[in-house]
Chain A
Amino acid sequence: MKWLEDALAKARPLFEGGGRFRAFKPLFDAMENFMLSPSTPTARAPHIRDPLDVKRYMSMVIIGLLPCLLASFYFFGWRMLAMIVVSYAAGGAVEVAFAVLRKEEINEGFLVTGLLFPLILPPALPLWMVGVGVAFGVLVGKELFGGTGRNLFNPALVGRCFLALGYPKAMSSDWISPVLAWPGRLGEYATDTVTSATPLAAAKNGEWARLGDLLLGNVSGSAGETSALAALVGGVVLVAVGVANWRTVVAMLIGFIALTAGVFGGSVNIVVWHCLAGGLLFGAFFMATDPVTSPMTNGGKWIYGLLIGVVTALIRNFTGYVEGVMFAILLGNIFAPVLDEIFIAVHVRRLNREG
């Protein structure tokens, strides 16, 4: 590793002080600290620190997303990879531009946003739309609020919302029907067979997809959400390592199941079907649990989860939209600060009573 340290030391003057590329110092720092863990010492007590850092934290989300990612490659072909590359390039460009402008460090958050975003898009969406969407999401959903940690909305969902409103036709019809039989679409880049009905849309016309297909992902839908099994596996890992909060996930599922059961008169089959269909599980494990945009208090997390679950069921069953996870989570994001306020006030009262 000595050679790498030496090479970086040699290049550093170009990015510092009067160096030719001084404007790109954040980019250089990010590259350097990505490859070599920094050796910065602590300044004030405590002088020892936990090994967990934001890079590790975000890496956990990416690990949790792997099953969905692999499933999307299998079912929809290598074009997914192109979508991810475009998403990272466009989102990263906005992130870097703002870091350079603000003279701040580049944040790891976009590594997650950039990967989440293509997974919640129709797999046949034109690549330029992917780029425009993620750029909008990062710019408006995150950077204008002050960057990672200060955003009100989940940036990936802001980007998707923008596309859904701006290009409704592409966003509601660019589905690909998957291939279940081995080797899936692992051998091809993309396909021309564009179908138009996701299971939720088809269900409105009375065609119910088989439960087994929903579980494995043998249905059309957004790239990463079709396989309920993959979302479950990755999601459980994410909850187990403590990065996704179990309260949010459980509350969201309870809210959703309760209302869906109410609507369909407690038919277990239909409730399970609705749980596995669409982006519910993906949203519950990977989108609603985003710590920045969900409440910080435990009580807030319960209410927030319940709210998202209930609203998802409401949108699915009582509006013109077939899928409601995106809007429900964005709505939950709006409520998050208010919920925190309420639960903090309750907690402070308890602290005051204890004296």
Chain B
Amino acid sequence: MKLAGGYNVSIKGRPSNDVEVLPEPQVLQLPLQSRFLNFSNVRVEEGQHVRLGEVLAKDPDHFAIPLLAPRAGTVRLAAAENHIVLEDVSRADHEPYDSFEETEHIPENLGSVGIKRYKLLQLGAWQFFRNAETGGPVDPFGTPTAVIVSTVHFEPYVARGDVQMQKRLRAFTRGLEHLQTLLEYQQIYLALPEVHSSLALKVRDMIRGYAWAKPVGIPFRYPFDSPALLVRRLGLKPTAENPVWALPTEGVLALDRALTLSQPCTVRIVAVGGPAVRKPVHVKAMPGYPLKDLLAGRLVDGPTRTLAGGALTGGEVTETQLGLDTECQGLTVLQESTRRELFGFMRPGSDRRSYSKCFLSSLRGQFWESYTTALRGEGRPCIACGECMSVCPARISPSIIHKYLYQDELEQAQRLRVDLCVECGLCSYVCPSKIDLRAEFIDSKQDIERELQTQEPSE
């Protein structure tokens, strides 16, 4: 598959390469639910004192992936709904968490590879291993078809791999070596930006000798970094039993930490960016860090909307979520839309970035626009302008699939391969009729999945 479509949205508020270390928190508010994980099996009691790295809860539906205590503290279960709150948080009684065996008994017949993977699971590094196609967690004892390690994140704005890696290059390559020992013969693909950054060159240099790691250059355009897209581009043929694993930069670092130091991965580097952030930056924070404290003093005045993730795929952080969740790679903050313009659609638009060439700005060079949450138009029926077809990186035909979904013809959407959608959100972004194509496709994929499941027993 050749890469087609894609588009870089130039939204103001790109986080700088600086990593700001946040002050130690007094309280941690750990959400039990995040995008894919649901830590419904709570393993601690009210008032219990936990050490750093202890298991607070597990996700019973996803291979018992644990939620670890990022700091020592006292557990409060009833303090906030759907959260485990840690009070009197401290690093004081920090002790090396080398006794991961003691918490659970190790399943028998694991072998050395199995023990390593079990260790990763217990030390919280396994949650970074994802199914490249769906983004969901993968079985720690399964066998992948291949592994894609991605150091590039183009979406505005999530934490960038180069920033996460910049002082830990040694740990990163060591992590890759560890990763290789977890596999039998499967290929590791290392996605690197196709630009001559010194970091990319260094990484290329370091893996030159490794036959099992193959560098893949990614053109600098969103969403060519998408693991789902890379699976197809590399011609990999994953199955339900043998998926392709995707591992981000921080996953490799967590893996190194777990296997080299036997320490849990608790602190992460996340991005805080977007037009409503005064000084966009990367921050070092741990899951459960109160969002209020994290964002305090960083935002511009007026109503804002915080997204968990980037501006194109991130969902709104609701008021009920108090702390940073374990899957969050970045916070993008937008100003709420309030401004109305007189004859807005007739303006030349030299200050408006557009995928189309219908604004004067297309004669202008690169600039960053202050996007708000405005829909910037009214919902209309599809006019078949073809913008979505040309921007779609998966090369499906969003407008045609929409036409069928509008008529409730799910089978036709299936025939047109809506399943290949990588959910990048660009079709919704460019649509002049403001149709929520991405949301529509996600819903229809779930409907198709459900229908297939109900059909199977009868066959």
Contact = CB atoms under 8 A, between A and B. Distances in A.
Contact of A49 (B315, B376, B383): B376
Nearest to B349: A51
A50 B429 contact: yes
B430 A36 contact: no
A241 B375 contact: no
Interface residues of B, number: 73
Contacts of A56: 345, 358-359, 377, 432
B342 A38 contact: no
Nearest to B384: A291
A352 interface: yes
Contacts of A297: 389, 397, 400
Contacts of B389: 296-297
Given A50-B354, A56-B358, A39 B340 contact: yes
Contacts of B387: 52
Most buried by A among B11, B235, B397, B431: B397
Contacts of B313: 45-46
B385 A57 contact: yes
A46 B378 contact: no
B311 interface: yes
Grouping DSSP codes into helix (H, G, I), strand (E, B) and loop, the A interface class, with mixed when no group exceeds half, is loop
B49 to A, nearest CB: 39
B416 A344 contact: yes
B248 to A, nearest CB: 20
Most buried by A among B354, B381, B397: B381
A49 B381 contact: no
B156 to A, nearest CB: 9
Interface of A: 1, 4-5, 33-57, 59-60, 105, 107-109, 146-150, 240-243, 245, 291-292, 294, 296-297, 340, 344, 347-348, 351-352, 354-355
26 contacts: A1-B342, A35-B343, A36-B342, A36-B344, A37-B343, A39-B340, A43-B436, A44-B438, A45-B428, A47-B334, A49-B371, A49-B429, A50-B429, A50-B432, A52-B356, A52-B432, A53-B432, A53-B433, A57-B358, A57-B385, A105-B379, A109-B383, A149-B384, A241-B356, A242-B357, A348-B416
A196 B396 CA distance: 52
Contacts of B386: 245, 291, 296
B323 interface: no
B337 A57 contact: no
B378 A54 contact: yes
B342 A35 contact: yes
Which 4 A-B pairs give the minimum distances between C-beta atoms? A53-B377, A37-B344, A149-B381, A55-B345
Contacts of B337: 39-41
A339 to B, nearest CB: 12
B342 A52 contact: no
A170 B318 CA distance: 65
B27 interface: no
Contacts of A355: 232, 235, 237
Contacts of A291: 383-386
Nearest to A295: B384
A46 B223 CA distance: 13
Contact of A148 (B359, B381, B416, B430): B381
B358 A46 contact: no
B395 interface: yes
A47 B315 CA distance: 8
Nearest to A291: B384
Given A45-B313, A241-B357, A354 B341 contact: no
Interface string B342-362: 111110010011111111000
A55 B345 CA distance: 6
B261 interface: no
B162 to A, nearest CB: 24
Contact of A55 (B237, B375, B377, B429): B377
A301 B387 CA distance: 15
B1 interface: yes
B312 interface: yes
A41 to B, nearest CB: 4
A50 B356 contact: yes
Contacts of B232: 354-355
B50 interface: no
Most buried by B among A41, A52, A107: A52
A352 B420 CA distance: 10
A284 to B, nearest CB: 18
A241 B384 CA distance: 16
Contact of B375 (A5, A49, A105, A352): A49
Given A49-B429, A53-B345, A240-B357, A292 B375 contact: no
B249 interface: no
Given A57-B385, A245-B386, A41 B342 contact: no
Contact of A348 (B352, B359, B415): B415
B382 to A, nearest CB: 5
B312 to A, nearest CB: 4
A296 B397 contact: yes
A353 B384 CA distance: 27
Contacts of B378: 33, 38, 40, 53-55, 105
B382 A149 contact: yes
A146 B383 CA distance: 13
Contacts of B334: 47-48
B374 A46 contact: no
A5 B428 CA distance: 29
B446 interface: no
Nearest to B359: A51
B338 interface: yes
B251 interface: no
Interface string B411-440: 000011100100001001111111010110
B432 A54 contact: yes
A39 to B, nearest CB: 5
A294 B400 CA distance: 13
Given A37-B344, A59-B345, A148-B380, A53 B397 contact: no
A47 B380 contact: no
Given A37-B345, A149-B383, A245-B386, A54 B433 contact: yes
Contacts of A147: 381
Contacts of A354: 1, 232
A42 B374 CA distance: 6
B381 A351 contact: no
A344 B432 contact: no
Contacts of B9: 48
B307 interface: yes
Given A45-B425, A296-B389, A52 B358 contact: yes
Contact of B425 (A38, A41, A46): A46
A45 B438 contact: yes
B305 interface: yes
A293 B200 CA distance: 48
B226 interface: no
Contact of A5 (B336, B340, B384): B340
A148 B415 CA distance: 26
Given A46-B428, A47-B307, A4 B375 contact: no
Contact of A52 (B341, B354, B381, B397): B354
Given A50-B355, A51-B354, A241-B357, 17 more contacts: A41-B305, A48-B9, A48-B371, A48-B372, A50-B353, A50-B429, A51-B349, A52-B359, A149-B380, A242-B356, A291-B385, A292-B384, A296-B386, A340-B400, A351-B396, A354-B1, A355-B237
